Structure 1
Amino acid sequence: MIIGNGRLITNSDKVGFMDNGAVLVKDNVIVEVGNFEELKKAHPGEEVLDAQGNLIMPGMICAHSHIYSSYARGMAPSGVTDNFFNILENLWWKLDRSLQIEDIKLNAFTTYAESIRAGVTTLIDHHASGHCIEGSLFALEESAKKIGVRTSLCFETTDRDGKEATKAAIKENVDFIKHCLKEDDDMVKALFGMHASFTISDETMALVKEAMQGVDAGYHIHVTEGIEDQYDSLKKYGRKVGERLFDWGILGDKTLAIHCIHLSQSEMDIIKATDTSVVTNPESNMNNAVGAPPVVQLLKKGVRVGLGSDAYTQDMFESMKVSNILQSHHLADPTVGFMETKALQFDNNPAICSKYWNKPLGKIEKGAFADIIVVDYKPHTPIGENNWFGHLLFGVNGGMVRHTMINGKLVMKDRVILTVDMDKINADSAQRAAKIWKNM
């Protein structure tokens, strides 16, 4: 297939922007990028998806989300949510304990569908369902494959649901990692999920490390999202969170440290030294009133900082907008935020994915996975090599995505999901959510 007749943003070092660009896709990879008319002439038999003068660009990457939170939309928790711990205890932990396999599959379908509609083609998820652990990651994988999205999955290991649940979570993570390594699938990858330092004892850390001996995978863990995480670590272990995770060998080039709001300078240095990736989630941080991540400082130290949504939204265009203004507002400096946000989404999210997938993501170039979106955007000011990001940041949102291709297959055309029956899924989800809400 040729996707062409549009302004092409490649996010590639080779050719960054083309006025009348086109992409030739064979199987699941990009085999050629060039002028639309020239590619059509060279490949006369190819099916053509006409962008009609709109934007053609790489699919967006969300480097951290929570599929299990899908039922929370419109839900009113009965417990107090006046601080970070109470938000966790009375909202998110209460919700995740209510989920069964049916809910996990529905949550996956609805989250992935909204992601696809917003142009997200790769989503790295951190799952929790404390009373339904065994088989939960395999259920998520089943939904992901049916809808056709690229994803990385893990289960949230924690002590909060008792020792047997902790052991079951460790087993689910390791079983799924080994399954993914054996399958070596282009679409689904695995990490070892851990909630956060303050809900993981040294005893559990030891069990995790024992289970992961000889297993080639990184960790996906929340780090100093709230200042309470630091207080807990200092009180119990006499070590800062970053130091404790380093001591246990959790940090490394395949590990995702999520949030990292309350890091000290020495912890930032540890993260840099271990080549650990940080993923920030600005809208969620503001909503939970936990603070602003030190994005500018981390980038200056050379830390690989990516961008997620924490499931506050599935629209990464929206997350970019907030990432930009949060940094400039927090630092009272209008010169920061813009280029940092571009680096998070278009440099570092692809770099993070390169740790797990064997072909480039987040780029339109020869040899990259064919994850491509077409966005209904015809600018009223000039657009080109040097300013396309400004157009995306201030002119585009996920609702403008018309077509989404993942792994060489159109999964959405003219804003219709092609792979599953979303009317039925949404109806089933609404029914189940109403039952779950009674537990809240």
Structure 2
Amino acid sequence: MTILIKNVTLLPMGKTLEPIENTNIYIEGDSIKHIGDIREDLKVKKTIDASGKVAIPGLVNGHTHISMSLLRNFADDVPLHEWLTQKIWPVEANLTAEDVYWGAMLSIVEMIRSGVTCYSDMYFFMEEVGKATIESGIRGVLSRGTIEEDDEKVNKGKIDYTRQLYKDFHGTGDGRIKVMVAPHAPYTCSPSYLEKLIELADELKTGLHIHLSETKKEVEDSFKLYGKSPIKHVYDLGLFKYPTLAAHCVHISDEDIDILSENSVNVVNNPGSNLKLASGFAPVEKMLNKGVNVALGTDGSSSNNNLNMFEEMNLAALINKPVNESAISIPAIKAIEMATINGAKALSWEREIGSIEEGKKADLILIDMNKPHLCPRHNIVSAIAYSCQASDVETVIVDGKIIMENYEIKTIDVEKVMYNAEKAAHSLVNR
């Protein structure tokens, strides 16, 4: 189907970072055919009058655990280590495939409504997450979070699981799904197990998704065990030879930043989760100045407690200013880059998504600017980073298909999802 979005203000986020007023976007099939004047030679089946609206690339949630929505508001105001070991992991031990499916669907509804068109997930029962992603129409990177256990048979089974997940889902959903290998963290995987997971990434020719240097304790423990930081530790093991998505990177040294930069490691900043768990402030500006690609993520909604990427953009733009004692640290446009094109680069998808340009995939959202909190329209870029709310997203298009229009999701029975997710959540915590 050919779609015309007319009379729109466009923030492309590609070669052009300035808003383009009153333009038109033609979508043909799954791609952007033309941007500019009305073309009489292009016949359209659907026209969207986007007067008073702004088109931006679909947001990329670079690091999350979407089925943890079932544990939203369940374990709050607890330090990270205690939160994981005493609250979250004991409950997650009772997860079923059905739980994960409904948790994934609930989060996908939330992400669509807040303008997220692509996400990178690390969790369990990832075939259920893949199923939910295909059904919903959005784009996702699946990775089975892998924690080493005492049983070697179990550990091998986790590697075999990821291998099968790759075989079953990589490239499915009309190319909307990728699969990566996911060692949970250096503190949950021994060096020998990390090496096996690195070998698996080499075998599958895919990337790795890992938590790195999230807390002071993690870094201190790494120096005690290995005499080096978590980043230097996994670098020495050869992990950075492959495309790497490194979540958090909060407590890192200048040497760590140099390693990240020299090895083209993609970092995902999760300001909301890092604030709530008191993990600290990632040196985002330092990393960007050193050429590190820094994307944005929400983390799981049990440590955030939402999947609102507009909130993450706002936090990224605000937090770094007092931390660096500079009002120009992480300006609005840089925060939007982190949530769009930088996220696409982090997932090795920058040739297809992350900006609105002719020839790229049609993954974009329309923001309704006709709201009191977005008036007056002095500066569109500032409005998006500092004033926009997730609820201002009116239309969502992924792969050229409209999956939300006029705030209504077309691909999911939202009431059914909420009912089943609520039921699954209460059943899970009471097992």
- SS where residue 246 of structure 1 aligns? helix
Q: Specify the alignment match of 1:52 in structure 2.
A: 51
Q: Specify the alignment match of 1:132 in structure 2.
A: none
Q: Kindly indicate whether the alpha-carbon contact (under 8 Å) linking 1:59 and 1:373 is maintained by their aligned counterparts in 2.
A: yes
Looking at structure 2, the residues matched to 382 and 431 of structure 1 have their Cα atoms a distance apart, in angstroms, of 43
Consecutive unaligned residues of structure 1, counting only runs of 5 or more, are: 130-135
Q: Deviations over 1:106-135 (max 9, x none)?
A: 1111111110000110111111x4xxxxxx
Q: Specify the alignment match of 1:85 in structure 2.
A: 81
Looking at structure 2, the residues matched to 124 and 402 of structure 1 have their Cα atoms a distance apart, in angstroms, of 23
Q: Deviations over 1:341-386 (max 9, x none)?
A: 2442244223223x1x374212111111111211111453345xxx
Of 133, 144, 163, the match for 1:155: 144
Q: Specify the alignment match of 2:326 in structure 1.
A: 333
Q: Specify the alignment match of 2:307 in structure 1.
A: 314
Q: Kindly indicate whether the alpha-carbon contact (under 8 Å) linking 2:201 and 2:242 is maintained by their aligned counterparts in 1.
A: no
Looking at structure 2, the residues matched to 161 and 282 of structure 1 have their Cα atoms a distance apart, in angstroms, of 33
Q: Specify the alignment match of 2:25 in structure 1.
A: 23
Looking at structure 2, the residues matched to 253 and 51 of structure 1 have their Cα atoms a distance apart, in angstroms, of 42
Percent of counterpart pairs with the same letter? Answer: 26
Structure 1 residue 195, shift from structure 2 partner: 1.1
Of 193, 196, 217, the match for 1:204: 193
Looking at structure 1, the residues matched to 158 and 325 of structure 2 have their Cα atoms a distance apart, in angstroms, of 43
Are 1:255 and 2:244 an aligned pair? yes
Q: Specify the alignment match of 1:133 in structure 2.
A: none
Q: Deviations over 1:257-307 (max 9, x none)?
A: 110011111111111111111110001000000100010111111111111
Are 1:381 and 2:376 an aligned pair? yes
Are 1:368 and 2:360 an aligned pair? yes
Q: Structure 1 residues 381, 244: closer, same or farther in 2, change over 3 A?
A: same
Q: Deviations over 1:72-104 (max 9, x none)?
A: 123257xxx642210111233223222111011
Structure 1 residue 70, shift from structure 2 partner: 0.8
Matched AA of 1:93: W
- Which has the larger displacement, 183-192 or 239-248? 183-192
TM-score, length basis structure 1: 0.90
Structure 1 residue 60, shift from structure 2 partner: 1.0
State the superposition RMSD in angstroms.
2.1
Looking at structure 1, the residues matched to 328 and 16 of structure 2 have their Cα atoms a distance apart, in angstroms, of 28
Structure 1 residue 205, shift from structure 2 partner: 1.8
Q: Structure 1 residues 205, 15: closer, same or farther in 2, change over 3 A?
A: closer
Structure 1 residue 188, shift from structure 2 partner: 0.3
Looking at structure 2, the residues matched to 13 and 70 of structure 1 have their Cα atoms a distance apart, in angstroms, of 36
Matched AA of 2:215: G
Structure 1 residue 42, shift from structure 2 partner: 3.9
Q: Structure 1 residues 181, 45: closer, same or farther in 2, change over 3 A?
A: closer
Q: Deviations over 1:305-360 (max 9, x none)?
A: 1111113222211111111111112223322132542442244223223x1x3742
Tell me the number of residue pairs that the alignment of Structure 1 and Structure 2 aligns: 421
Q: Specify the alignment match of 1:282 in structure 2.
A: 271
Structure 1 residue 416, shift from structure 2 partner: 1.4
Q: Kindly indicate whether the alpha-carbon contact (under 8 Å) linking 2:63 and 2:297 is maintained by their aligned counterparts in 1.
A: yes
- SS where residue 154 of structure 1 aligns? strand
Q: Deviations over 1:382-429 (max 9, x none)?
A: 45xxx4321201221110111111111111112111112111111011
Looking at structure 1, the residues matched to 150 and 311 of structure 2 have their Cα atoms a distance apart, in angstroms, of 34
TM-score, length basis structure 2: 0.92
Matched AA of 1:103: D
- SS where residue 224 of structure 2 aligns? helix
